[in-house]
């Protein structure tokens, strides 16, 4: 029997699906950006574990200053407020933890064979299923990882067709967005606890490497002064990508945020 698909996300339903009370979900039908909303609330004192969820965004933000489309009824836009007690230098790793949580949450709920394009895009067959933009408060006193998931879109515009996919396009079935949101929060919460034990990715590396789509693939490191090509070997415990250079044969550590890495496959 076809599952009934609600046209709106529901904070209460998601909350009732969770086996933990660490997340408090707030919902609006439409906002400019759930990251902006979460940041405003964080500035006003919103506690760790607050989640801001919207059916659509009018000015969704992507990485590198790009915009992010969040079509009503078919996508999920969700931003978290986290207040980890860790050193500033460790904070960027949380984006990778979010990627892992999203990849596994989506896999558990939908059965899709999700992967990660380093550092944190969730992909399926070389196309992007979900993007993450993490923003930080002024003194690093809070962190807002925001996640956008393509769920029930049945097509993408010409310019995105080769790069983007959705749960519907991968499974042929419309999926309950509340269940996906709950699945991601459950998985992320578990991985986040493992991360907090050491403040690095020691306990998560095996899982991350297992689904790293770039692993063993050719990549181009778009370092402004010195771009180079090589093979992605995996990550280290700080989430840096290890790349064996084609020209020198040496292994370099690529820090997320410093450079972009282009896979010589699928979308870039």
**Site residues (vs ligand BTN, CB under 6 A):** 33-35, 57, 60-63, 66, 68, 70, 77, 79, 121, 131-133, 146-148
Of 23 and 68, nearer to ligand BTN (C-beta) is 68
Q: How far apart are CA 35 and CA 67, in angstroms?
A: 13
Candidates 126, 191, 164; CA nearest to 116 is: 126
Long-range contacts of 198-206 (CB under 8 A, 24+ apart): 199/86, 199/87, 199/90, 200/90, 200/93, 200/237, 200/238, 200/239, 201/93, 201/96, 201/97, 201/235, 201/237, 201/238, 201/239, 202/237, 204/96, 204/97, 204/100, 205/234, 205/235, 205/236, 205/237
- Cβ proximity to ligand BTN: between 35 and 187 the closer is 35
CB of 61 to ligand BTN, least distance (A): 4
CB of 65 to ligand BTN, least distance (A): 10
Compute the least distance from the CB of residue 77 to ligand BTN, in Å.
Answer: 4
**Which of 33/92 has CB closer to ligand BTN?**
33
- Closest distance of CB 134 from ligand BTN, Å: 9
Smaller CB separation from ligand BTN, 70 or 214: 70
CB 247 → ligand BTN: shortest distance, Å?
A: 29
| Position closest to ligand BTN via CB | 131
Nearest residue (CB) to ligand BTN, 122 versus 232:
122
**Number of C-beta neighbours around residue 222 at 10 A:** 13
């Amino acid at each position: 029997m076809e599952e009934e698909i609600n046209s709106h996300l529901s904070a209460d339903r998601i909350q009732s699906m969770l086996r933990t009370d660490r997340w408090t979900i707030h919902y609006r039908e439409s906002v400019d950006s759930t990251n902006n909303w979460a940041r405003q609330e964080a500035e006003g004192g919103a506690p760790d574990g607050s989640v801001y969820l919207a059916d659509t965004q009018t000015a969704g933000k992507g990485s590198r200053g790009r915009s992010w489309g969040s079509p009503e009824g078919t996508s999920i836009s969700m931003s978290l407020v986290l207040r980890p007690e860790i050193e500033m230098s460790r904070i960027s790793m949380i984006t990778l933890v979010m990627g892992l949580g999203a990849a596994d949450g989506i896999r558990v709920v939908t059965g899709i064979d999700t992967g990660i394009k380093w550092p944190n895009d969730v992909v399926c067959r070389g196309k992007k299923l979900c993007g993450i933009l993490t923003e930080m408060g002024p003194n690093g006193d809070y962190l807002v990882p925001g996640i956008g998931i393509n769920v029930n879109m049945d097509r993408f515009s010409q310019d995105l067709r080769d790069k983007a996919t959705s749960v519907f396009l991968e499974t042929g079935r419309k999926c309950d967005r509340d269940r996906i949101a709950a699945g991601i929060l459950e998985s992320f919460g578990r991985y986040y606890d493992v991360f907090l034990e050491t403040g690095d990715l020691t306990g998560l590396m095996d899982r991350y490497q297992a689904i790293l789509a770039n692993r063993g693939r050719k990549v181009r490191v778009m370092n402004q002064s010195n771009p180079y090509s090589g093979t992605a070997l995996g990550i280290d415990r700080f989430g840096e990508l290890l790349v064996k250079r084609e020209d020198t044969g040496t292994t370099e550590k690529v820090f997320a945020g410093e450079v972009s890495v282009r896979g010589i496959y699928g979308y870039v």
